[in-house]
């Protein structure tokens, strides 16, 4: 029992050390030439395109459901007119970023983990290495940058769709015009809502790319290892996203709301 705990603790610290080394290697390679610009653009397109529909559908449904669920309670207190403000602030500050990031962790993070994992077990990464073409720069740096850049864009897109979904409920149930609804939305939103929420999405994207690449790049144990890499990439990223979210909210509260 004690030995098992000791082994698990040791494994945890070894894994943390390796992960930190991997992150350090990214920063060493990320800002130095040569840049793999074409591959970066290809990855941006792949990551954005791969998640766009999913983010749109999820955002739309969240907007609809959130409004439908909140409406009766607000009606009870005679506060339905607060609906646009409440929905937009909730979505922009918290729900939009975290839900989109979780979706991308599942879609993008596992995809990167599986792709790099299968490249590792089929010796494609070794093959790049022996031909003297830094595979880390080509495969890892481009994917992490692409995830970091694309996630904020996906979040903003998802936010917009969610607010539109909310508007549709208000339009059909409360006969609120589009102009009135969006006037209320923009009147209630401040830069202090949007800026910190957007900044944290860069960190979300970075975490998704980093964990996916780390798990895939260090994949072992053949095809079983590929499955494990994809799976653990999602689990580990999801935990990391909540941790980053907590830290981001904590810091935002210090700077903006205290």
Partner 1 sequence: MSPQTSPVIEIKGLKKSFGNNHVLDGFNLELFEGENLVVMGKSGSGKSVMIKCIVGLVEADAGKINVLGQDMSNLDEEELDYLRTEVGFLFQGSALYDSMTVRQNLEFPLRRHVRKFGVIHDATPLVMDALESVGLAETIDMMPDELSGGMKRRIALARTLILQPKVILYDEPTTGLDPITAKEIISLIQTIQVKYKTSSIIITHDIDCARIIADRMILLIDGVNYVEGTFDALSKSTDPNVCAFFK
Residue for token pair 């690449």 = 213
Report residue 135 as tokens: 């595979």
**For residues 62 and 161, what is the distance between their CA atoms, to the nearest angstrom?**
9
Smallest distance, partner 1 to C-beta of residue 130, A? 4
What's the sign of the alpha-carbon dihedral 168, 173, 179, 183? negative
Using CA atoms, how far residue 233 sits from 119, 207, 238, in Å, is 16, 10, 8
Q: Which is nearer to partner 1, 100 or 118 (CB)?
A: 118
Q: Which is nearer to partner 1, 15 or 126 (CB)?
A: 126
**For residues 14 and 223, what is the distance between their CA atoms, to the nearest angstrom?**
23
Smallest distance, partner 1 to C-beta of residue 10, A? 15
Smallest distance, partner 1 to C-beta of residue 45, A? 14
Q: Which residues contact 182 (CB under 8 A, 6 or more apart)?
A: 84, 167
Smallest distance, partner 1 to C-beta of residue 9, A? 20
Contact (Cβ atoms closer than 8 angstroms) between residue 150 and residue 205: yes
Smallest distance, partner 1 to C-beta of residue 118, A? 8
Q: Which is nearer to partner 1, 21 or 256 (CB)?
A: 21
Q: Which is nearer to partner 1, 30 or 128 (CB)?
A: 128
Q: Which is nearer to partner 1, 28 or 190 (CB)?
A: 28
**Cα end-to-end distance, the chain, whole Å:** 47
Smallest distance, partner 1 to C-beta of residue 3, A? 18
Smallest distance, partner 1 to C-beta of residue 154, A? 23
Q: Which is nearer to partner 1, 69 or 122 (CB)?
A: 122
- Give the residues lining the site for partner 1 (CB under 8 A): 34, 119, 122-124, 126-134
DSSP-assigned letters across all residues of 186-222: HHH--HHHHHHHHHHHHHHHHHHHHHHHHHHHT--SH
Report residue 224 as tokens: 């079983």
Q: Which is nearer to partner 1, 122 or 183 (CB)?
A: 122
Q: Which residues contact 232 (CB under 8 A, 6 or more apart)?
A: 113, 215
Looking at residue 32, what DSSP letter applies? S
Contact (Cβ atoms closer than 8 angstroms) between residue 207 and residue 200: no
């Amino acid at each position: 029992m004690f030995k098992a705990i000791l082994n698990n603790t040791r494994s945890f610290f070894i894994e943390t050390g390796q992960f930190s080394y991997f992150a350090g290697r990214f920063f060493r390679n990320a800002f130095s030439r040569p840049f793999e610009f074409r591959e970066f653009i290809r990855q941006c397109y792949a990551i954005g395109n791969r998640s766009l529909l999913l983010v749109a559908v999820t955002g739309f449904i969240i907007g609809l459901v959130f409004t439908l669920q909140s409406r009766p309670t607000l009606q009870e207190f005679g506060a339905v007119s607060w609906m646009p403000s409440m929905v937009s602030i909730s979505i922009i500050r918290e729900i939009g970023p975290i839900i989109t990031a979780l979706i991308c962790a599942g879609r993008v993070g596992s995809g990167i983990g599986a792709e790099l994992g299968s490249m590792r077990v089929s010796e494609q990464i070794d093959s790049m290495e022996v031909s003297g073409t830094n595979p880390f720069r080509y495969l890892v740096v481009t994917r992490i940058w692409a995830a970091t850049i694309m996630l904020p864009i996906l979040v903003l897109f998802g936010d917009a769709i969610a607010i539109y979904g909310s508007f549709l409920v208000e339009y059909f149930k409360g006969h609120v015009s589009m102009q009135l609804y969006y006037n209320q939305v923009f009147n209630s939103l401040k830069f202090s809502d949007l800026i910190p929420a957007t900044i944290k999405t860069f960190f979300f994207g970075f975490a998704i790319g980093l964990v996916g690449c780390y798990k895939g790049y260090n994949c072992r144990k053949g095809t079983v290892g590929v499955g494990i890499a994809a799976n653990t990439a999602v689990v580990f990223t999801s935990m990391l996203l909540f941790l980053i979210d907590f830290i981001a909210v904590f810091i935002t509260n210090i700077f903006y709301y205290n």
